[in-house]
Amino acid sequence: MFLPIFVYYVIFRYVPMTGLIIAFKDFKPGGGIYHGKWVGLKWFIQFFESPYAYRVIRNTVLISLYSLIFGFPVPIFFAICITEIKNMKFRRIVQTASYLPHFISTVVVVGMIHMFFSMSNGIVNTIIAKLGGESINFLINPKWFRTLYVGSGIWQHFGFNSIIYIATITGIDPSMYEVAKIDGITKFKEVIYITIPLIAPTIIILFILQLGNIMNVGFEKVFLMYSPAIYETADVISTYVYRKGIEGSSYSFGTAIGFFNSVINFAFVYIANRISRAITQTSLW
């Protein structure tokens, strides 16, 4: 049973890593990844000397941090609330409804964003106009890009991300709550002193894994949402790599940026894991 998974990771995850060598070479298409002049850190230096380096790193980190700060707690709160619903039929309906957006394709989600926030006939601007306000061009205003990206991401994934928390809360021994009720504990204190401490190890592990994606912002969604007018806040590492590496045919340069991105992600995971293990005794390894 394990063999197909092992073969998949070897073929599609580990073997392609050999291609990272072109980040240190002057790669020419058709010559093979092992050919070409060795240039060392040339492409890394070129990236950091680029006027766009600060912008794409800043945008990538800020979007990821906003998603983490505002999006990470939502599934936890939702899981706590959903487990308090005693009517199982209503609870299943709410859970199912919260899971559905996760299975909507990125293209459809971005299409919905355009439908809701379009300046000409978007629902949001229509409401603003009805209330006597001035329409806002959300889609080409750099100030609104991160809000739309993070907010739509929270809406799309909070229900699905709550599954593991719901399972963990369901596994808590009911007798602990019964004893607390006998002692006269309130519902709020029940959550603070029983539920959250018992699901804390799960929260910590998922938080560490989330930190591993701090430099990864979904290419597809950003690519579909952004335009040159909002590059200032929307251009991230993945889209910059696409423009330079694929559209600009600078494959070595694009690979170098992607390699740098992966190293930073690994560093975040390693440091967070060490800190968590030292403070809470909970870690990935």
What domain count does the chain have? 1
In a domain, 187, yes or no: yes
Contacts of 92 (CB under 8 A, 6+ apart): none
Q: How confident is the model at residue 155 (pLDDT cuts 50, 70, 90)?
A: very high
Q: Domain holding 165: CATH number?
A: 1.10.3720.10
Determine the average pLDDT of the residues in 149-177.
Answer: 92
In a domain, 17, yes or no: no
pLDDT, tens only, 94-127:
999 999 999 999 999 999 999 999 888 889 989 9
In a domain, 73, yes or no: yes
Per-residue confidence (pLDDT) for residue 147, from 0 to 100: 93
Per-residue confidence (pLDDT) for residue 75, from 0 to 100: 95
Q: Nearest Cα to 74, choosing from 155, 146, 145?
A: 155
Measured between alpha carbons, how far is 112 from 185 in angstroms, rounded to an integer? 44
In a domain, 285, yes or no: no
pTM of the model: 0.86
Contacts of 232 (CB under 8 A, 6+ apart): 55, 142
Per-residue confidence (pLDDT) for residue 46, from 0 to 100: 92
What's the token pair of residue 31?
């010559």
In a domain, 137, yes or no: yes
Per-residue confidence (pLDDT) for residue 285, from 0 to 100: 76
In a domain, 124, yes or no: yes
For helices 53-66 and 142-161, the axis angle rounded to 10 degrees is 40
Determine what percent of the chain is predicted with pLDDT higher than 90: 49
In a domain, 149, yes or no: yes
Determine the average pLDDT of the residues in 131-139.
Answer: 87
Q: How confident is the model at residue 273 (pLDDT cuts 50, 70, 90)?
A: confident
Please, what is the end-to-end C-alpha distance for the chain in angstroms?
Answer: 24
Give the residue numbers spanning the domain of 271. 55-280
In a domain, 34, yes or no: no
